[in-house]
Amino acid sequence: MGNLVLFDEKKAVVWQSFDHPTDALVPGQVLVAGMNLTAAVSATNWSEGGVFSVSMTSQGLVAYVTADPPQAYYDELYYGPNQNNETSYVKYQNGSLQLYVNSEPSGPDMTIDLPAAASAQYMKLGPDGHLRVFQWGTQWTEVADVFTGYLGVCNYPLVCGEYGICSNGQCSCPRSSSTVETFRQINDRLPDLGCSEVIPLTCNASSNHSFLDLEDVTYFSFTSDNRSTDMKSCKEACFKNCSCKAAIFRYGSNSSNGFCYLPSQIFSLMNNDKDLTYYNSSVSLKVEIARIVTGPEVGISPGGSDRKESVLGPVLGSTLGILCAAVAVGTAVFVYRRKKRSEEIEEDYLDHVPGMPTRFSYQELVTATDNFSKKLGIQLAELQKVVVKMILQYVHQFYQGRGDLSALGSNSSCFVRKW
């Protein structure tokens, strides 16, 4: 790893890779004001074009996530006077990142400490926004995460995806106190992918806009669009601005004298730990709700209070209608089951009455008649003839044994008549 340099015939440098950084720096390399490190698209797609970048500005080092405008999530800025007109830059040295705002020959204006190199090292901006230092041993191993020591876990823009709320590294979606769902997980098994709006927010339906208020929630980036204001005025300003996706409000001890930020895109949110931040914070997410009836607009009134649709009457009427229908259906089912049970008890009683003929089910009759293709009893006459013939033969043998055949004729005819 190093600097790839092209020389002309006079051995003058005409091009070198150090002047065209991509997503990585190596020791000795300089990032001059106006240059960027740009992360790859993903861990498997190394092409340039990710959403994260690190830039050197005239005031210091800044890390951004791509938005309109870009949102900064880390900075190391120099607020002293710039005593010369030379270009600012940051230099990757062994054991540190050195920021030169006033430029050499003076020493660095700021230094970010890094582990000293025991072997080959390089620094890379990852597709997750982390700036990591890797060192070679038997393989490349991460030895430092440059921003995390300052940011912690939850200050990265996409740690919980868009609209996700980070709390100690755990991700969840914004929830309202009502039963109306405004956001849902993109993937329940991968909560860090973020949350999506149940109803996408559109500018041409501002009458259906409202706010989901989240107390003690803050954002990784903050630019004061309005100062010395209160939460009500902050929400009004967001409601009137089509591109505004949330009203983010911060204040110290006086809630009437705070700061308002109106971002046009929302990445990850996080719980606000006032013991660490020393300020109060709330986030009001602009959401779109489904219109139920034609009535007053939903959103922020000129006075600043939320206007609600008059939906109590229709909702109450619908609820009563559903309740009445449920009672009617339940009654019908009860009566039907009671009648059916009564019939079953009666049939069971008849089966046990002495002298009653055998009762057959419909399915038994279908089976016995081969689906009603045969008539029951059709062969009874033939059966009678066979039985009579067998009896006559027996009687004939009986009387022949006794030698009295004269009585056979009258008895047999009598027998046949009785049969």
Q: CA 96 → CA 26, 122, 133, 145, distances in Å?
A: 12, 12, 11, 13
Per-residue pLDDT for 95 more than 70? Answer: yes
CATH domain 5-151 topology:
Agglutinin, subunit A (2.90.10)
Q: How confident is the model at residue 49 (pLDDT cuts 50, 70, 90)?
A: confident
CA 157 to centroid of chain Cα atoms = 18
122-130: average pLDDT? 96
Residues 243/246/251/254 CA torsion (nearest 10 deg): 90
Q: How confident is the model at residue 45 (pLDDT cuts 50, 70, 90)?
A: confident
Task: Write the pLDDT tens digit of every residue in 346-381.
Answer: 555 555 555 556 666 666 666 767 776 666 655 555
d(C-alpha 157, C-alpha 155), whole Å = 6
Of 134 and 312, more confident: 134
How confident is the model at residue 416, as a pLDDT? 47
Instruction: Give the range among 191-205, 277-291, 340-354 with minimum mean pLDDT.
Output: 340-354
Judge whether 409 and 396 are in contact, CB under 8 Å.
no
Per-residue pLDDT for 419 more than 50? Answer: no
Count CA atoms within 13 Å of residue 149 on its CB side.
10
Per-residue pLDDT for 261 more than 90? Answer: yes
d(C-alpha 166, C-alpha 189), whole Å = 16
Per-residue pLDDT for 180 more than 60? Answer: yes
d(C-alpha 95, C-alpha 147), whole Å = 15
The pTM of this model reads: 0.67
Q: What is the DSSP letter of 163?
A: T
Q: What is the DSSP letter of 253?
A: S
Q: CA 218 → CA 3, 18, 210, distances in Å?
A: 42, 38, 19
DSSP three-state, residue 47:
coil
Judge whether 285 and 174 are in contact, CB under 8 Å.
yes
For residue 80, give both structure tokens: 């002293």
Q: Which of 239, 235, 256 is nearest to 247 (CA)?
A: 235
The domain ranges of the chain are 5-151, 165-313, 363-419
How confident is the model at residue 344, as a pLDDT? 55
